[in-house]
């Protein structure tokens, strides 16, 4: 009953307010419902608010200009009744907006969503029917303050609002909204992080990340034509229409975000998208150097990921990175074949090592280290890394002694290569041979063994395309094996005696059936 | 014309008088520029005059004639024999003409029409007269005068000798004259008549024999019935009457008739020979296995097999003698099949051998290879199916196979309670239903009987049924393993059946195991996608993996079943984190399997080393810095990084090495702390032993030290060996010693030496030239073609020359004709002129006379 009552009540008060100014006090009823406990009551109240103030905005029944305080005595004195009504209504509008902002932190997603949508509707209407006096200088108006409030409420410190943010994404398609969101985010981040004094705020930072990582930046100025608020005058001078301004805002936002310490998981996430969706849209990507070098120094998976961004900077922005290869060399450790980003890492390493101007010691060190690591690699990685090593040798014919040293010192007691040495130039890889690949010729997997046997003969000139092999997973390898057609199945000829009855059964030495 | 040249030339060398040949004015010598030894020369000397005159003569005989008759439409041909032949004398000519005429007359229209020709005579008498004898004397009836024929009779019958002699007496003079006067014509007539008569006689004789044979035949047919006595007729009757229900006696008779006679067989083999044969077989199998292990069988497969010219192309290969030889061992009859496996059916054993040795052969082929004896046996089997109790069959077959298995002997009394025939299960539920509620031994008997009753040689669909049975059994063994407690003993027994079935249907069995592995891998992958990590496989999958290693050779370079199994195990070791003692047990078992799979081929498994290192790490107290790197799924520090660490001194001292029970995979039963600690130590011991085994396997690998390096560091620097019981300390020491005993030896890598490409040889190719003068070096057809072209060219040239000469000849002829005509005309004109001038002269003379006369008058 109450619900129906609330619905009816809201509809009636909406009618009343819209019909005549005499009934303006019914607005209070509506605003009251906004603070209700019940979810559906709030929902219908939000809807009513949206319609009510929407039409009021359209009719121009809200006060325009700097709003005097409500209880200011001058208002009553100086203004006409008409103005007084509009000032009063404007105050109601403001309180409604406040309520809606609060509702964006409501526990129910539906409430949050409808509150946000209503606010965004107000944003677009305010843009159309501005509530600020238009000066001749600043003829482009956009309700920045309102949008800032929305953004502030999206980026909550305690609560994960990724769902709401993904809902918000549809508004980010508007170029003007995006621009103002970027500026407000950078303000917001600066403010919040300053307050927290360099402590980690995982939830907040996650929220910020999910908002700003979903920004879809245009790549050409001509694409900037989708505005939420259409300006009557020509767009010429408006900042929003300039791609450069967009980029600058974008850059400021990201740098503001990244200059604070990040949780590791977020670090990885940022690095994953960095090269693809951040760097290209920055006006000065070189500004990211500090961040990337810091990340590269950290080591482990983060270093692997930082490689990608560094590569873009080195490749396109002339970054000179001292000891880059040495660091890359030290990134290679046994876990490299077991991490998630293996494909990406090897793709980049392949790129870095594709130069034919690299010194011999470096390439040999890489080849030798990779082959040493391959001794503990799973088969799918082996299928990739063996052709990789072979490619290195092909690219740098001077490396050939690694697999073919006819007049070398015979009967060595030890492998000259020093695995522990961090500096590739001192690792003595040049004096070594790839015995590891020779050992892998006895690998149990037939394909791996075949690949490893390539080094027994002079390598062909054509490089193997590693790109196809990078993404192979263990399961794919298995599937490939199972799908192979077979003509005949050779059988065991040793007669069976039981489960553990084979000759030289190893299991029987350690396990018992019972 | 050209064709005639040859014959003319041949004539030139023969029929030329010596005078002309020796006449230097006639001879033209063809001078030779240089002499070729051994060359036959044909045209050293020519006789142009002779040959020209011959050519002219020839042309006058042929061309000129044609030329003269060119305007004529009919030709007169003189066909008289030898009219223009001057060589035959007129007498001879007449003789031949006469003979020809006679011949022409005797040419009959039909050789069968005897009456057509002229009357035949015998000594001048017409044969027709002789045949129409009026007084025929029956010589048979005249008994008194037997032996002496009357002169008249003989004279009448034989017309000749006697009669003539008599007549000679009477009219010797008269007769002699005409006989002497017998002209040639008569003689010839006589001759012809004689030959005709002979011919006719022969004909009649032939007819008679034919008639007689026919008669004899018909007579025999009549008599035949009598000769056959009464049995055949009665049988015939019986056959017609009782065809529908054959008499028992008849059947027996028939069966006896068709029973296989004892055939000579090879001598029995001695024990030594048997052993040797078996050894050879095993050696061959081992060689094949090695071949596959090295992975070069694929190359051979591509090479087409040699096919004999006599190959019918039916895929039937008889390259070995499949017959079973009887043999005795310790005075008992011994079958090869029984010795090899433990199958009941002799049939089966034959097939298995076939399957072993030529596994690529089709099943159909193998069954068809069975000799007739086995067919007979299968007949018996089919009767069993029809309802003859099995124990009867057992009695029957007992003498055949002497080596009774112990187990069967055990089961015999139990078996009597079970029905003897079972239909093969159509679904897994059927099998479960069949086996539920039965003891293990009974289950085995049921399975055995199912296999017997549905042997592929008995019916068409049985193959598919048994193939299905294999899948169900595999599933069933998996189910047995998942039971609580797992019935592994039963699985142990089932393996025998699985092995037998697998030997029969390798392809189907392979497919079955593959699909199970695939399901397991798929399940694991799904779990990883959903949860991010997978649990180690359950006991059922482990059992399947173990069974795989029993059924299939694990040492092959590539094997349709074993390679996926290896891949699966590698996935298990890479992806599944170890969080409990159960996981440790499972992992160790998988390691064991892995090692067992590669024990023969000695292949390198990085995952195994990683995993063993990880397991060992679980027993190291976590301190911080370690000198080795662990890879996924193990971590240096973590929740379970001290899973195998044992610190209780008392427990350590009381520990004894125990076997790890397989059921521990499903859940440990030990609960007390001491027991758990003991269990940990056992795991550690197992792990160390596996390390030892892998060291001995991989010791020869070139990068062995690098491979084993992390484990060495762990064992020497981090493992709290001193706290461990003596036995374990010993083990660790052993492992380390073994590690060090492997030589550190590094040879620089060198490419495999390429086979030197043989240099191109420039020795001339020797071709035997069989006949000179012929074009060499091309095919027979080509040579023939060239010869024809050459011949055609020469003939063409010759023909042109002949034609030219012909036209010259004709032109000369025409010219001479024209000259002749002109001369004739001139002559006639002269003649006219002559006569005219005479006339004129006469007329003038007359005129002068007149004038004279007038003057005189």
Q: Does B82 touch chain A (CB under 8 A)?
A: no
Q: Spell out the domain ranges in chain B.
A: 577-741
Pairwise CB contact (< 8 Å): B546 & A507:
yes
Contacts (Cβ under 8 Å, ≥6 apart) of A379: A443, A445, A447, A448, A474, A477, B567, B570
Question: Residue A371's pLDDT is what?
Answer: 92
Q: What is the pLDDT of residues B377-416, one digit of tens each?
A: 444 444 443 443 444 444 344 443 443 344 444 444 444 5
Chain B nearest CA to A334, separation (Å): 7
Question: Residue B182's pLDDT is what?
Answer: 67
Taking residue A360's Cβ as centre, other Cβ atoms within 10 Å add up to 14
Q: Which residues pair with A443 in a beta bridge?
A: B604
Q: How far apart are the first and last CA of chain B?
A: 81
> Which of A403, A444, A449, A453 to mutate to probe the B interface, most B CBs <10 Å?
A444
Question: Residue B805's pLDDT is what?
Answer: 93
Contacts of B588 in chain A (CB under 8 A): 510
Pairwise CB contact (< 8 Å): B606 & A375:
yes
Question: Of the candidates A343, A348, A354, A312, which has an alpha carbon nearest to the alpha carbon of residue A327?
Answer: A348
Question: Of the candidates B477, B469, B468, which has an alpha carbon nearest to the alpha carbon of residue B449?
Answer: B469
Question: Residue B794's pLDDT is what?
Answer: 95
Pairwise CB contact (< 8 Å): B595 & A506:
yes
Contacts of B595 in chain A (CB under 8 A): 506
The series of mean pLDDT values per 10 residues for chain A, 514 residues long, is 62 74 73 76 81 79 69 63 77 83 79 83 77 58 77 78 81 82 84 76 82 80 72 63 81 84 82 82 81 81 82 82 85 84 87 87 92 90 91 90 84 84 88 89 90 87 85 86 84 80 74 73
| A459 to chain B: closest CA residue | B751
For CA atoms B765, B770, B774, B779, the dihedral sign is negative
Residue of A443, A504, A507 lying closest to B589 (CB–CB): A507
Contacts of A478 in chain B (CB under 8 A): 518, 521, 564, 567-568, 571
Residues 524-563 in B contacting A (C-alpha not used; CB under 8 Å)? 524-525, 543, 546-547, 549-553, 556-561, 563
Tokens of B522: 């798929």
Q: What percent of chain A has pLDDT over 90?
A: 6
Find out whether B510 and A486 touch, Cβ atoms under 8 Å: yes
Q: Spell out the domain ranges in chain A.
A: 1-133, 322-405+415-488
Taking residue B854's Cβ as centre, other Cβ atoms within 10 Å add up to 8
Residue of B493, B543, B751 lying closest to A456 (CB–CB): B751
Chain A nearest CA to B406, separation (Å): 13
Q: What is the pLDDT of residues A392-432, one digit of tens each?
A: 999 998 888 888 888 878 777 888 888 888 888 888 888 88
| A404 to chain B: closest CA residue | B750
Residues 403-462 in A contacting B (C-alpha not used; CB under 8 Å)? 403-406, 408-415, 433-436, 438-440, 442-446, 449, 455-458
Q: DSSP state, B717?
A: I
Question: Residue B143's pLDDT is what?
Answer: 43
Q: Among the residues of A441-506, which ranges form H helices?
A: 446-452, 467-470, 474-483
Contacts (Cβ under 8 Å, ≥6 apart) of B1: B799, B802, B803, B806
Q: Does B713 touch chain A (CB under 8 A)?
A: no
Q: CA A435, CA B706: separation in Å to the nearest integer?
A: 10
- HSE at residue A3, side-chain half, CA atoms within 13 A, is 5
Question: Residue A112's pLDDT is what?
Answer: 80
Tokens of A302: 């983060």
| B745 to chain A: closest CA residue | A413
Tokens of B260: 């296989």
Question: Of the candidates B483, B487, B451, which has an alpha carbon nearest to the alpha carbon of residue B469?
Answer: B451
Beta-strand relationship, B660-661 and B332-334 = unpaired
> Which of B751, B753, B754, B755 to mutate to probe the A interface, most A CBs <10 Å?
B751
Taking residue B556's Cβ as centre, other Cβ atoms within 10 Å add up to 22
Residues of chain B under the 70 pLDDT cut: 1-15, 107-121, 124, 126, 128-182, 227-246, 260-266, 296-417, 624, 670, 769-777, 856-857
- HSE at residue B16, side-chain half, CA atoms within 13 A, is 22
Question: Of the candidates A498, A367, A500, A490, which has an alpha carbon nearest to the alpha carbon of residue A427?
Answer: A367
Q: CA B637, CA B622: separation in Å to the nearest integer?
A: 7
Q: CA A289, CA A310: separation in Å to the nearest integer?
A: 8
Question: Residue B59's pLDDT is what?
Answer: 92
Question: Residue B300's pLDDT is what?
Answer: 45
B145, B149, B153, B154: CA torsion to nearest 10: 180
Question: Residue A492's pLDDT is what?
Answer: 82
Contacts of A438 in chain B (CB under 8 A): 701-703, 749
| A337 to chain B: closest CA residue | B631
Q: CA B519, CA B564: separation in Å to the nearest integer?
A: 12
Contacts of B754 in chain A (CB under 8 A): 457
Q: Which residues pair with B332 in a beta bridge?
A: B329
Helix (H) or strand (E) holding A329: helix A324-331
Residues 265-304 in B contacting A (C-alpha not used; CB under 8 Å)? 282, 285, 288-289, 292, 295
Look up the ipTM and state it.
0.77
Q: Does A2 touch chain B (CB under 8 A)?
A: no
Question: Residue B575's pLDDT is what?
Answer: 86
Instruction: Return the exposure string of A111-139: e unless at least 16 CB atoms fall within 10 Å of the residue's CB, then b.
Output: bbbbbbbbbbbbbbbbbbebbbeeeeeee
Residue of B588, B610, B659 lying closest to A376 (CB–CB): B610
DSSP secondary structure, A173-214, as one string = GSHHHHHHHHHHHHHHHHHHHHHHTT---HHHHHHHHHHHHT
Q: Does A503 touch chain B (CB under 8 A)?
A: no
- Count interface pairs A-B at CB distance under 8 A: 260
Q: Which residues pair with B122 in a beta bridge?
A: B125
Pairwise CB contact (< 8 Å): B604 & A444:
yes
Contacts (Cβ under 8 Å, ≥6 apart) of B846: none
Question: Residue A78's pLDDT is what?
Answer: 66
Instruction: Return the exposure string of B270-289: e unless at least 16 CB atoms fall within 10 Å of the residue's CB, then b.
Output: eeeebeeeeeebeeebeebb
Cis peptide before B633 (omega within 30 of 0): yes
Residue of A335, A377, A412 lying closest to B606 (CB–CB): A377
Q: CA B681, CA B674: separation in Å to the nearest integer?
A: 11
Question: Residue A198's pLDDT is what?
Answer: 67
Question: Residue B212's pLDDT is what?
Answer: 93
Q: DSSP state, B32?
A: -
Find out whether A13 and A27 touch, Cβ atoms under 8 Å: yes
Q: CA B574, CA B564: separation in Å to the nearest integer?
A: 15
Hey, what long-range contacts does A346-355 have (CB within 8 A, 24 or more apart)?
Answer: A346/A384, A346/A385, A346/A388, A346/A466, A346/A470, A347/A467, A347/A470, A348/A307, A348/A308, A348/A311, A350/A388, A350/A391, A350/A466, A351/A311, A352/A311, A352/A324, A352/A325, A352/A328, A353/A392, A353/A395, A354/A395
Radius of gyration of chain B (CA): 58
Tokens of A372: 């040493």
């Amino acid at each position: 009953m109450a619900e129906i009552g609330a619905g009816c009540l809201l509809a009636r008060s909406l009618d009343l307010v819209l019909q005549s100014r005499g009934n303006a006090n019914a607005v209070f009823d509506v605003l009251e419902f906004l603070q209700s406990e019940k979810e559906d009551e709030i929902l219908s109240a939000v809807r009513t608010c949206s319609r009510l103030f929407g039409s009021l905005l359209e009719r121009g029944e809200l006060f325009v200009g700097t709003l005097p305080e409500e209880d200011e005595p001058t208002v009553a004195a100086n203004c006409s009744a008409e103005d007084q009504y509009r000032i009063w209504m404007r105050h109601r509008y403001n309180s409604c907006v406040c309520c809606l902002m609060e509702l964006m932190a409501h526990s129910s997603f539906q409430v949050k969503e409808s509150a946000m949508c209503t606010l965004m509707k107000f944003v677009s209407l305010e843009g159309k029917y501005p509530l600020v006096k238009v000066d001749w200088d600043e003829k482009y108006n956009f309700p920045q303050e309102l949008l800032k409030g929305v953004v502030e409420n999206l980026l909550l410190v305690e609560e994960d609002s990724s769902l709401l943010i993904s809902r918000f994404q549809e508004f980010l398609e508007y170029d003007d909204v995006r621009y103002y969101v970027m500026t407000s985010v950078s303000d917001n981040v600066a403010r919040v992080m300053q307050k927290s004094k360099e402590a980690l705020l995982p939830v907040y930072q996650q929220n910020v990340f999910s908002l700003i990582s979903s920004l879809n930046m245009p790549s050409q100025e001509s694409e900037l034509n989708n505005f939420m608020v259409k300006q009557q005058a020509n767009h010429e001078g408006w900042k929003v229409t300039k791609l450069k301004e967009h980029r600058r805002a974008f850059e400021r936002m990201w740098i503001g975000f990244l200059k604070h310490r990040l949780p590791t998981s977020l670090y990885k996430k940022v690095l994953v998208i960095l090269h693809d969706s951040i760097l290209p849209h920055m006006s000065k990507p070189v500004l990211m150097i500090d961040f990337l070098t810091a990340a590269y120094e950290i080591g482990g998976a983060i270093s692997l990921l930082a490689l990608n961004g560094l590569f873009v900077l080195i490749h396109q922005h002339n970054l000179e990175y001292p000891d880059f290869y040495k660091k890359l060399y030290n990134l290679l450790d046994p876990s490299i074949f077991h991490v998630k980003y293996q494909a990406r890492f090897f793709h980049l390493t392949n790129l870095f090592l594709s130069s034919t101007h690299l010194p011999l010691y470096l390439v040999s060190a890489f080849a030798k280290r990779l082959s040493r690591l391959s001794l503990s690699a799973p088969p799918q990685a082996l299928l990739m890394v063996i052709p990789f090593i072979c490619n290195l040798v092909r690219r740098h014919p001077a490396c050939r002694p690694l697999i073919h040293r006819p007049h070398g010192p015979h009967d060595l007691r030890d492998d000259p290569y020093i695995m522990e040495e961090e500096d590739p130039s001192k690792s003595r890889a040049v004096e070594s041979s790839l015995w590891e690949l020779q050992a892998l010729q006895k690998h149990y997997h037939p394909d791996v063994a075949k690949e490893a046997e390539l080094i027994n003969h002079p390598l062909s000139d054509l490089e193997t395309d590693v790109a196809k092999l990078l993404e192979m997973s263990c399961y794919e390898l298995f599937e490939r094996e199972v799908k192979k057609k077979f003509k005949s199945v050779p059988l065991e000829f040793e007669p069976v005696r039981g489960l553990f009855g084979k000759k030289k059964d190893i299991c029987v030495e350690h396990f018992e059936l019972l | 014309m050209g064709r005639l040249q040859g014959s003319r030339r041949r004539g030139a060398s023969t029929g030329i008088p010596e005078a002309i040949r020796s006449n230097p004015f006639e001879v033209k010598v063809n001078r030779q520029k240089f002499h070729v030894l051994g060359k036959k020369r044909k045209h050293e000397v020519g006789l142009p005059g002779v040959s020209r005159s011959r050519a002219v003569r020839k042309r006058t005989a042929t061309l000129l004639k044609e030329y003269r008759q060119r305007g004529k439409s009919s030709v007169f041909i003189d066909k008289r024999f030898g009219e223009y032949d001057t060589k035959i004398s007129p007498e001879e000519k007449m003789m031949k003409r006469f003979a020809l005429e006679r011949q022409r007359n005797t040419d009959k229209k039909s050789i069968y029409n005897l009456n057509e020709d002229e009357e035949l005579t015998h000594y001048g008498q017409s044969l027709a007269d002789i045949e129409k004898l009026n007084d025929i004397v029956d010589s048979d009836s005249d008994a008194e005068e037997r032996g002496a024929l009357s002169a008249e009779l003989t004279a009448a019958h034989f017309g000749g000798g006697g009669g003539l002699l008599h007549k000679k007496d009477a009219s010797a003079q008269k007769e002699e004259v005409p006989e002497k006067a017998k002209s040639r014509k008569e003689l010839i007539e006589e001759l012809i008549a004689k030959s005709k008569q002979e011919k006719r006689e022969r004909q009649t004789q032939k007819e008679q024999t034919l008639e007689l044979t026919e008669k004899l035949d018909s007579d025999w047919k009549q008599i035949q019935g009598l000769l056959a006595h009464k049995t055949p007729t009665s049988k015939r009757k019986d056959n017609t009457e009782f065809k529908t229900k054959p008499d028992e006696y008849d059947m027996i008779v028939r069966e006896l008739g068709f029973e296989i006679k004892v055939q000579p067989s090879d001598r029995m083999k001695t024990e030594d020979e048997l052993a040797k044969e078996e050894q050879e077989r095993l050696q061959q199998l081992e060689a094949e296995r090695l071949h596959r292990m090295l992975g070069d069988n694929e190359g051979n497969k591509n090479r087409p097999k040699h096919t004999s010219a006599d190959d019918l192309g039916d895929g039937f290969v008889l390259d070995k003698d499949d017959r079973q030889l009887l043999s005795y061992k310790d005075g008992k009859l011994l079958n090869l099949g029984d010795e090899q496996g433990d199958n009941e059916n002799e049939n089966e054993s034959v097939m298995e051998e076939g399957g072993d040795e030529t596994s690529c052969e089709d099943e159909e082929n193998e069954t068809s290879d069975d000799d007739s004896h086995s067919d007979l046996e299968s007949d018996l089997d089919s009767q069993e199916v029809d309802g003859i109790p099995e124990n009867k069959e057992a009695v029957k077959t007992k003498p055949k196979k002497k080596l009774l298995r112990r187990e069967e002997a055990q089961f015999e009394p139990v078996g009597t309670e079970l029905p003897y025939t079972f239909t093969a299960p159509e679904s897994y539920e059927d099998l479960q239903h069949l086996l539920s509620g039965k003891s293990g031994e009974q289950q085995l008997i049921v399975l055995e009987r199912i296999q017997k009753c549905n042997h592929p040689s008995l019916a068409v669909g049985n193959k598919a049924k048994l193939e299905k049975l294999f899948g169900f059994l595999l599933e069933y063994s998996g189910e047995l393993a998942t039971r609580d407690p797992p019935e592994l003993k039963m699985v142990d027994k089932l393996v025998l059946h699985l092995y037998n079935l697998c030997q029969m249907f390798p392809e189907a069995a392979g497919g079955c195991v593959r699909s199970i592995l695939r399901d397991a891998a798929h399940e694991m992958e799904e779990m990883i996608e959903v949860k991010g990590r997978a649990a180690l496989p359950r006991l059922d999958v482990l059992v399947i993996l173990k069974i795989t290693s029993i059924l299939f050779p694990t040492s092959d370079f590539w094997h349709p079943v074993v390679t996926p199994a290896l891949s699966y195990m590698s996935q298990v070791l890479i992806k599944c984190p170890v969080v409990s003692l159960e996981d440790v047990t499972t992992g160790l078992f998988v390691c064991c399997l892995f090692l067992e799979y590669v024990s023969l081929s000695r292949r390198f498994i990085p995952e195994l080393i990683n995993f063993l290192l990880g397991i060992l790490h679980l027993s190291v107290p976590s301190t911080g810095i370690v000198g080795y790197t662990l890879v996924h799924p193990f971590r240096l520090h973590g929740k379970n990084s001290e899973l195998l660490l044992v610190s209780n001194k008392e427990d350590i001292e009381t520990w004894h090495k125990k076997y790890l029970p397989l059921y521990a995979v499903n859940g440990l039963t030990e609960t007390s702390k001491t027991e758990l600690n003991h269990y940990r130590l056992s795991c550690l011991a197992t792990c160390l032993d596996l390390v030892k085994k892998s060291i001995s396997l991989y010791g020869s690998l070139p990068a062995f030290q690098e491979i084993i390096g992390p484990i060495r560091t762990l064992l020497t620097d981090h493992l709290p060996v001193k706290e461990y019981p003596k036995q374990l300390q010993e083990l660790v020491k052993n492992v380390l010693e073994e590690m060090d005993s492997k030589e550190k030896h590094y040879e620089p890598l060198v490419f495999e030496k390429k086979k030197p490409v043989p240099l191109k040889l420039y020795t001339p190719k020797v071709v035997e030239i069989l006949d000179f003068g012929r074009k060499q070096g091309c095919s027979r057809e080509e040579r023939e073609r060239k010869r024809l072209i050459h011949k055609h060219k020469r003939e063409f040239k010759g023909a042109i020359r002949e034609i030219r000469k012909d036209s010259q000849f004709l032109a000369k002829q025409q010219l001479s004709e024209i000259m002749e005509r002109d001369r004739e005309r001139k002559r006639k004109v002269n003649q006219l002129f002559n006569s005219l001038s005479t006339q004129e002269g006469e007329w003038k003379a007359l005129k002068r006379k007149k004038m004279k006369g007038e003057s005189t008058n």
